[in-house]
A and B are shown apart, each in its own frame.
Chain A
Amino acid sequence: MNASNTASLSRRGFLKSAALLGGAMVIGFNAGGALAISTGSAPAEAVGFNPFVKIGPDGTVTVVVKHFEMGQGTSTGLTTLVAEEMNVPWEQMAVEFSPSDEKYKNLAFGGQGTGGSTAMANSYLQYRQAGAAARDMLIRAAAAEWKVEAADVTIENGQLVSGDKTASIGAFVEQAGMLEPAAEPVLKDAASFTLIGKDKLPRKDSMAKTTGKAMFAMDVTVPNMVYVTILRSPLFGGTLKSFEVGGAAEVNGFVDARALPDNSGVAVYAESTWAAIKARRSVTADWDNAAADTRGSAEMLSEYTEKLSAAPTYDVTGKGDLTEMEEAAKAASRSVSADFHFPLLAHAPMEPLNCVIEPTAEGGVRVHDGCQFPMITHPTVAAITQLPPEKVEIITYYAGGSFGRRANAQSDYHAQAAMAFVALGGEKAVKLVWTREDDLAGGFYRPMFAQRAHIGIGDDGKVSAWSQHTVAQSIFKGGPMESFVVHDGVDHSSVEGVVDTPYQLPMALGLTDYESPMPVLWWRSVGHSQSGYTMEVLMDMAAEAAGQDPVDFRLAHLDEEDENQARLAGVLKLAAEKAGWDGKQVDGKGRGVAVHKSFDTYVAQVMDVSLDAEGAISIDKVVCAVDCGVAVNPDVIRAQMEGAIGYGLGAVMRNEITLKDGIVEQGNFPDYEPLRISDMPVVDVHIVPSDKAPSGVGEPGLPPAGPALANAIHAATGKRITSLPMTSAGISFA
């Protein structure tokens, strides 16, 4: 924490301020310093700045949030940082989403976007600095007016105070806006925090989201707008040859149907969402499927298995000992071997994908979207509409979930909307709406994975050899972020969660890619969602083979002299203690444990299940311990643990996308049954107090949930589940 307080501002960009915008004071960063992070150049003064904090004459402080809100709590979190530094009451704080602009880039990405559980981690200093700069300038303005030393002025509860003088911060915005910001505004010391770490700070989006007033892109209407649905090829890689409007023309409200410019589908335009959905049912199309993928899930699985049995393409651990390690594992007196299979998964956010594109009076376009990756969407829309980037504007709304789906290298649904906009002539606004069927069959799935592991246990009861081969379709190869994630052919996301495990294990890891034209994508916690499962089921199997308690066995592979390993051990011990772990199992019940580090956050879970008379499983309770560094908003952290556990459990229990002859077999939620309230266990979250830099919480709660459940089911039934979903592996849930 103290190290953070003194971090040089020059690394983060220079603060600017102005008394502009209708009497409000605005504080922000210019692009010079910020751009230097990614490019090392760019003239500072040429680009101006965009506000991070606006202070109105009424004292309202508006935080301009650069990350979109998909439920993860970022609008509350970043606002907390500014309120903390400014000593402004929570009720006086307002939130708005930033426009699409380089100056709002994610410092972890080098472009504007939300993902990888980075929002708090990359904003923690930046937003505090903006708040601290505002506090300092308001204090200096008041000191000058009151003819006192700045050191004798404070902001308390939103009021400037010095001796018997008080004034609202709003009264000084004009004077403060004329001052130069401090080069390095002094951040508050952690000991004086009143909001950061406060156990319960009301979410900024609660009121709007409980009264129906919260605006999602789905709720946007603009003048002169038509609704559009897209008829796509049922096969991935199929292209449009021709189409017939047919009976669609008879549907009330039908406007037109046009081929998309890239022949990826037919855009069906109508005067209402319903008419667009209904009309599409009557449009027929002829597809060129020469380049399409017609493989079914069964063929894919057998291809994965074949690759699993062949030598890996890549030696991930790079020691040239893949064969030796496998042989050593098999030759050990006690050993474990297992194959793991992971199905394709859809994200299925509650809000089906949609966005609005409208022409602007200035000859550009305005995109209305719950926009996760402006850095991709903005240039994508500009390219399709053949506009310079400065003619494209993105307005960001609340997003009805994402789990990774809204961000991808192609900006697929924005591209589709832009093509539909262009195909209709560019005069009318279009609102693209996907149905749930479009979503579930729309690709961009979590890739199928297969893994084979051989583990040997040494005479000391510890792992003596760990050999693992992963077959996976790469998410990052061929995309714009390839160079960040793929090194020497190895897509790190295919092996993360194993290759970077904090456990002390003698490992040899191999990787083989699987090729398909079907687009795949990161899904909440990315590779950790598969490899975390494999790791933690295997650790349980290894503990069993070694005849040891699962918690003790894991701890025996962690050296607590090392901070990274100590933090993993710390959450494991905390969860075990809070759950009353004693290594004993009870008839008719089962208790399992798993612990995993992802996105710099450590999470352990102890899961309790029970069996009914028919052998069906109920998930009763999860005790979760999390170490995410400084806990900025503890209640948001608890909510993210609860939610990630639920999202992870639903998927491992019963979700899979399957293909027959290349066609997705799942239509709507009844075929891809989401976790229901009756499935949801009681969740008890414990947060490790920490002064380490804050890390993310949106994803890390997920990886341990699946294996903790699998290990609990094993404890209850003796069954090891190495092929998901569990319902396809013969497990039934009550």
Chain B
Amino acid sequence: MASILFVLVFFAVLAALGFVAVSKFDRQQRLSGFERVLFSFATGCYAIYFGVFAIGYWRLDSTTMGILAGVLILTALPVLGRLALRDFGRTFARVYQMARGDRLLALLWLAVIGVGLSAIIQGMAPPNDYDSLMYHLSYPQHDIELGRIAVPWGRDSGTQTGLFPAMMSNMTRFALALTNAGVAQMLHGVFGLLAAAAAAALALRLKMSQSVAVLAALLFLSIRFVVWEMATVEVDIAFAAFSILAMLAYTLWRQHETFGLAAIFGLMIGAALLTKYQGYPFAAAFGPLILYDRFVGRKNWSAFLAGPAVAFCVIVPHLARNAMMTGNPLFPLLNNFFNPEEPVYFETSIFEHYGPGMGLLDLIMAPWNFSILPMQHFDGMVLGAPYLLALVPLVVFDLPQAKRLRPMLTILGVFFVVWFYLLNQQVRFLSPVMPLLAIFAAAGATALWRAVRQHKGLKPVYIALIGVLFINQSMFVGIYSAIRLPVALGLMTAETFHSKTPTMTGAMYGTCTFIRRNLKPGEQYFSVVWPHSFYCPQVSVTLSYFDDEAKWWRETDQPPEMNFNTFMQRVETANFRYFFVPTAFEQRRNDTAKAIITKVNPLDYRFGNYLQPVLSRLQPVFEGHYSAVYDGPAVIELLKDLPQPE
């Protein structure tokens, strides 16, 4: 209950803070009350981002974050009442009135509320997703344990994410300092609702009916990776929210051409850039439309100048920090340009693994392939049932609607081409255009319904097809509720949850919790388990590389070597309490997503050739499915007895 209250207060305070700025930018009252609430909350997020950014490098704990929260609440209080009465009240009253007289609309609202609230509550489940355990959650947890923001350079050799845009990781830091990981996940879930609401707002702004708008929100929330990520601290959903809000702001600017709306557009683009590096190609995707509007449509200069200027201003601190720390404002991207003498990062991850090919036909066929053959050609069943592919093209049955969507279609098209050729082709990286696709799909489904509803033969076939899609996607949505709600509501222990719930190569919950419970203050442990799980102690670990080696990957792409004697000296000096090693890993990237477990060869991890003869003679003090913990003093004692390797 306290977690839900925290999330509600968080939303209200940020919306109130953002309301001050949004009201100033919208003096002419062009925004509807609903739109103003959405832009206010999104703008208010900057307060947490810059607050944590300004304080966290000096001190990050419950005291400083509590003071930050107190200041934000006190600042928001005078605005809160005004905002609640003016915008929330009117919006809810109007929605309720409309839903009362329309059964379909009421059902759609119930579905949206059900899916949305379920996803938010699922956030209270223990973190279980690979990327969050690896860095979205574990890096902020590292900072909390350290007491200030710092890049764990040694660990970053594997992820290179320590200097990524931090809009959402600062939210996570704020939540972890004051509450727990569950609340951090719930805060991220709020951005799913924000994206769904913004999709509905854009649909309404494009003169679609309220049913189409709510259907668009539902179709977005029901995308498999959306409903899954909403209960995690991964950032794709927040990225989608800021992106669709940028589209909404730009659509509003096209209608009214005011400087203030251009500035709000810039704020939303800036937030997208501060959420994920894919924000840069997304921002660039607006380029052709902005140029067209200025030089062909003869619209005024405000969006052309004010939008990019505002976006640039808000990202300057991030760029400056990265430039000061690494010489590369976009670190780790484009490192060959900014630091030509240093290694290039993410080069190999691009073009690898995904997509059947890079030809023009592959580009055209990509939506078909990632919807119909996701296991064979892309990164798995990320979307669920192919309702977007089935419904989006149907929008051509309503030509006036399709024409209104044309400007947004250019953004979708440019971003899609960039995603296909220049980004890692994970389907979830299309998140910024997913709310827009949901609008297209809602408009398409409605257009075909209008066309077939008088047709005796086609009507039942269409209803049956939609019914199958609905049932299939409900299974994807429902399964996450079935998995995460029992533990979120306290009906299942975290141990049982982790033992039953698969995640890529496990959350290491058992082994990490064993270390966390038994490691005494001042003690260190040595780990070669990668990725380093959120559940393990974050600061007291030596993760494959000792402190003086931690930045090796900044200078070379060849990991450093260490001879046995040096390793022994280091190990004895550190007097590690535990040695933590991987024992198996799991792969699911196959046609059926069936887990294939493979034993780890000790020679594959650093120092495995030194440790393997010792570990083979010892019993682990704790063993999980994929990792084992060995007693440090026993390992060190046996290492001393080893004949020195050649």
A and B physically associate: no
Mark A residues whose CB is within 8 Å of B: none
Binding site for A on B (CB under 8 A): none
